Amino acid sequence: MSKVNIKPLGDRVLLEICEAAEQVKGGIVIPDTAKEKPQEYTVIAIGTGKTDDKGKKIEFDVKVGDIVLTSRYGGTEVKYDGKEYKIIGQDDILAVIG
């Protein structure tokens, strides 16, 4: 897990792509543009949270270090210090693995 100086705001979560081993069949190299978008990420940081109509803080369902599945095209991809991250609203996280 990386230490990064990005702090999401509100109910947003900062995710890092889980590196999957690339399998090449028959010596064919698949370019990055043709690969399927990853859906498995590690939670790197969580935002400041969201409040309900009465001003009560709503707890996050995830915590730093969790491995999560996200909707395929949800969130915003960002590059920082040569690495790729995704900032996504908590509602776009579908499940926690493990």
At residue 12, the pLDDT reads 95
Judging by beta carbons within 10 Å of its beta carbon (0-12, 13-18, 19+), is residue 19 exposed, middle or buried? exposed
Q: Cα 75 to the chain's mean position, in Å?
A: 8
Residue 54 lies in a domain: yes
Give me the tens of pLDDT residue by residue for the chain, a chain 98 residues long.
557 889 999 999 999 988 654 555 566 666 655 556 668 999 999 999 888 899 898 889 999 999 999 988 889 999 998 888 999 999 999 999 98
The 3-state DSSP class for residue 90 equals helix
Residue 90 lies in a domain: yes
Total domain count, the chain: 1
Residue 7 lies in a domain: no
CATH number at residue 83: 2.30.33.40
Give the whole-angstrom CA distance, residue 74 versus residue 65. Answer: 20
Q: The domain containing residue 83 runs over which residues?
A: 12-18+31-97
Residue 71 lies in a domain: yes
At residue 21, the pLDDT reads 44
